[in-house]
Amino acid sequence: MTDTRIDAQTAAAPVYTVPQERKIVTAIPGPKSQELQARRSKVVSSGVSSALPVYIERANGAILVDVDGNQFIDFGAGIGVTTIGHTEQRVVAAAADQLQDVIHTLFTITPYEEYVRVAELLAEHTPGNWEKKSVLVNSGAEAVENGVKIARKHTGRRAVAVLDHAYHGRTNLTMAMNYKAMPYATGFGPLAGDVYHAPSSYPYRDGLSGADAAARTIGYLEKVIGASDLACLVVEPIQGEGGFMVPADGFLPTLQTWCTENGVVMIADEIQSGMARTGRYYASEHFGWEPDLVLSAKGIAGGLPLAAVTGRAEIMDASQPGGLGGTFGGNPVACAAAIAVFESIDEHDLLAEGRRIEATFRAGLERLAARYDIIGEIRGKGAMIAIELVQPGTGQSTKAPNAEAVTAIVAFAAQHGVLFLSAGTYGNVLRFLPSLAVSDALIEDGLRVLDDAFASLG
Ligand SMILES: *Cc1c(COP(=O)(O)O)cnc(C)c1O
């Protein structure tokens, strides 16, 4: 049943069903969005928040269209999920075909080829040249939970280590693994035990070389936990919610070497940074890091819910049969979409698009940084770029975080049809996670709005 898929994929250039431009035709949020917001507030838990309460009716490429007809340039991509573009044609065709064939059987009852194919593609594309196996689940947090389960079973050890500024999810175990209590864990305890927070590498604020930062982290692991009790060290190669911190060179491979020497499973949480987000398939590759296990989620299936733990076969086989799985894990439609995502990345050389996006963004952001001294640092890789804002005049001396400016810029941009996301432990990071479909023209347009936003801060 691949015929329609092949038709869709042979189109030479992407065909967009929504013009790739921003357009604001009402106040933001518009009247229809306000009506929906009123309905929502009666029936949707207020524990679920929305960064920008405009209700989206259509999305295509790099553009969101709301119910009032406003068009936004999307520099969030659903937090790095629609990496290859909204409603990407190959994903749409593959999912539509699969819906006709089989929607669900449960792989642990009667299996199907699509699950196996996704595992093959993951084995091929994740870092490390060794025999690999995978388990497919529904969400990033579930991938983290399974990675920890597998590492504990494999090592027979209890403790889990994470890094400062980490974000790993909202389930019971993962909220204990996050750095920030507020809003993720406050009041939701008791939290899972045996989770330890070790120092990270945050070059802008700690000024440490990779070797020195790794020595500090290892010192903590040895003193506070003891290697013989440590099952796994879970690390985002580029921290996402924490603020797109790019670790100093050598930090990650040094930690991997220490883990290998001490029988600790080192797990790359590539949920935000993986799947072609950074100009490589997995961000670990930028740092010469070959993790024991790799977690994929967000961008893997073009917007459908799918996540995976992939890694060394001998570790992945530690679980007893029946120990891993779940009702919806590796759903056939999500798997068909994921296969289309891998094919699209290769066919359209989307890794090169990530590098193009980085070059365009960096050049534009450097021009802004020359004029606005509250831009403390520009950092990131590929289509995962951020600026960290500091208080005026304090610059390199105190680096006092400037969350107010980020909030004001995000609000200004939304009014002008550009969706920016904030991030950062101190809320002072503006992050850009566009889809790889974003053109240079759209990036330049977004940067003009960003320039106006900075100017409006006065
Ligand atoms: C989003 C995210 C998660 C959690 O994924 P969910 O699908 O929201 O459960 C875990 N780790 C990182 C790095 C993430 O960005």
What is the DSSP code string of 310-334?
A: EEEHHHHTTSPTTSS--SSTT-HHH
Q: How far is the CA of 370 from the centre of ligand 1 (A)?
A: 34
| Nearest atom, ligand 1, residue 80 CA | 15
Query: What pLDDT shows up at residue 14?
Result: 75
What is the residue with the minimal CA distance to atom 7 of ligand 1? 140
Among candidates 296, 262, 291, which has minimal Cα distance to 276? 296
Q: Measured between alpha carbons, how far is residue 296 from residues 283, 306, 334, 378 in Å?
A: 11, 8, 13, 26
Tell me the C-alpha distance between 36 and 53, whole Å: 9
CA 168 to ligand 1 centroid distance, Å: 5
User: Do residues 193 and 231 touch, judged by C-beta distance below 8 A?
Assistant: no
Ligand 1 centre distance from Cα of residue 68 (Å)? 31
pLDDT of residue 317: 98
Per-residue pLDDT of the chain (458 residues; tens, 9 = 90+): 334 444 444 445 678 999 999 999 999 999 999 999 999 999 999 999 999 999 999 999 999 999 999 999 999 999 999 999 999 999 999 999 999 999 999 999 999 999 999 999 999 999 999 999 999 999 999 999 999 999 999 999 999 999 999 999 999 999 999 999 999 999 999 999 999 999 999 999 999 999 999 999 999 999 999 999 999 999 999 999 999 999 999 999 999 999 999 999 999 999 999 999 999 999 999 999 999 999 999 999 999 999 999 999 999 999 999 999 999 999 999 999 999 999 999 999 999 999 999 999 999 999 999 999 999 999 999 999 999 999 987 655 679 999 999 999 999 999 999 999 999 999 999 999 999 999 999 999 999 999 999 999 97
Amino acid (1-letter code) at residue 379: R
Which ligand 1 atom minimizes the distance to the CA of 141?
A: 9
* Ligand 1, pocket-test mutation among 245, 298, 384, 425, most atoms within 8 A of CB: 298
CA of 454 to the centre of ligand 1 (A): 30
Q: Which residue among 167, 293, 306 has the greatest number of ligand 1 atoms within 8 angstroms of its CB, and so is best to mutate?
A: 167
Contact 248, 258 (CB under 8 A): no
Q: Regarding beta strands 375-381 and 307-312, do their DSSP bridges make them parallel or antiparallel, or are they unpaired?
A: unpaired
CA of 177 to the centre of ligand 1 (A): 12
Tokens describing residue 439: 């053109």
The answer to whether 326 touches 106, Cβ cutoff 8 Å, is no
Q: Which domains does the chain have, with CATH numbers?
A: 16-87+350-456 (3.90.1150.10), 91-347 (3.40.640.10)
Q: Which atom of ligand 1 is nearest to the CA of 269?
A: 13
Please give the distance, rounded to the nearest whole angstrom, from the Cα atom of residue 142 to the centre of ligand 1: 9
Burial of 193 (0-12, 13-18, 19+ CB in 10 A): exposed
Distance 133 CA to ligand 1 centre (A): 21
At 196 the three-state DSSP class reads: strand
Distance from Cα 271 to the centre of ligand 1, integer Å: 6
Farthest-apart Cα atoms in the chain, separation: 64
Question: DSSP letters of 54-69?
Answer: --EEEEEBTEEEETTS
The residue to mutate among 168, 304, 421, having the most atoms of ligand 1 within 8 angstroms of its beta carbon, is: 168
CA distance 401 to 223: 31
Residues with CB under 6 A from ligand 1: 139-141, 144, 167-169, 236, 240, 269, 271-272, 297-298
Residue 239 CA: nearest ligand 1 atom is 13
Q: Which protein residue has the closest C-alpha to ligand 1 atom 15?
A: 272
Cα R_g (the chain), whole angstroms: 22
Prediction pTM value: 0.96
- Per-residue model confidence (pLDDT) at position 15: 84
Count of CB atoms situated within 10 Å of the CB of 356: 18
Closest atom of ligand 1 to CA, residue 241: 15
**303 Cα–ligand 1 center, Å:** 14
Q: H or E element: which one contains 71?
A: strand 71-74
C-alpha 144 to ligand 1 mean position (Å): 8
200, 272, 273, best to mutate for ligand 1 pocket (most atoms within 8 Å of CB):
272
Distance 44 CA to ligand 1 centre (A): 22
Predicted pLDDT at 314: 98
